[in-house]
Amino acid sequence: MTFELRILDACALATSVSAVSLLLLLPLSRRLGLVDHPDPFRKRHAFDTPLVGGLAIAVGMLAGWWCLGTPSKFEDAVVCTALMLVVVGVADDLFNLRVSVRVIAQLSAIAIVVISSGVYIHSLGILHGHELTLGWLGIPFTVIAVIGLLNAFNHPQFVTGSPNQALSVSITGSERNYLIPSSPNFQNARVSFASNARQMVIGAKLTF
């Protein structure tokens, strides 16, 4: 029971730190240039949207990771590469990086996790009494699977700014949704915090 309580403590800390970080980062989003502006093509939200969710989730994730205190080599690798992807996501929000740059960063993150921890997909399970082992093909299979999931989480960003989209807050390995009233800096009843950084860190954590 002690172990379960320790996990709950880490989740509660990560959630609280993420929420507080959001409130602190929201007024700074314009100064940092982390604001998504609507356009008539892909970004059809009606108001300027702050892109600080990924940074807040990363801070909360670090707090939860620190609280657990006994991470494994695999967990260390996932957290470190998730932070790397946060940096790439923020850079993408600011400078609209080329797809090739993002893919290279994602491939590097996956390679670091696989090489440092030895964790990858070894088997597809048992079919008709026979185990479908992948052998060395498990490594490229894992890379393709993780790349696909990372970008699947990133794809829904076209709804950024929708009043119905909830703010995702990290609780170390799972996500809960919150609706936060908008700041006077942003003109709508509610504001969403989707960003490339957020989608990448969520994708990385839930994938691994």
Q: Check if the beta carbon of residue 67 is closer than 8 Å to that of residue 59.
A: no
Q: Helices in the chain by DSSP H: which ranges? A: 2-25, 29-32, 53-68, 73-95, 99-117, 138-154, 196-207
CA dihedral 84, 89, 95, 96 (to 10 degrees): 130
For residue 99, is it within any domain? yes
DSSP 190: B
Q: What is the pLDDT of residue 200?
A: 57
Nearest to 174 by CA among 208, 150, 205: 205
Q: What is the pLDDT of residue 203?
A: 55
CA-only gyration radius of the chain, Å: 18
**138 contacts: CB under 8 Å, gap ≥ 6:** 120, 121, 122, 123
Q: Check if the beta carbon of residue 65 is closer than 8 Å to that of residue 79.
A: yes
Q: What is the pLDDT of residue 153?
A: 64
For residue 92, is it within any domain? yes
Q: What is the pLDDT of residue 181?
A: 37
CA distance 98 to 95: 9
Ramachandran quadrant class, 118 (left: phi over 0; alpha: psi -120 to 50; beta: rest): left
Write phi, then psi, for 197 (nearest 5 degrees): -65, -45
pTM above 0.75, yes or no: no
For residue 41, is it within any domain? no
The SS3 of residue 148 is: helix
Q: What is the pLDDT of residue 49?
A: 84
Nearest to 44 by CA among 159, 190, 167, 185: 159
As for how many domains the chain has, the answer is: 1
Q: What is the pLDDT of residue 3?
A: 56
Q: Check if the beta carbon of residue 59 is closer than 8 Å to that of residue 21.
A: yes
Q: What is the pLDDT of residue 196?
A: 56
Domain span including residue 133: 2-35+46-207
Per-residue pLDDT for the chain (208 aa), expressed as one digit of tens each? 455 788 888 889 999 999 999 999 999 988 888 888 877 776 666 778 888 888 998 999 999 989 888 778 888 898 899 899 999 989 988 998 998 999 999 999 999 999 998 999 999 888 888 899 999 999 999 989 888 887 776 655 444 433 333 334 333 333 333 333 334 444 443 444 445 555 555 555 555 5
Q: What is the pLDDT of residue 96?
A: 87
Q: What is the pLDDT of residue 134?
A: 92
Q: What is the pLDDT of residue 155?
A: 57
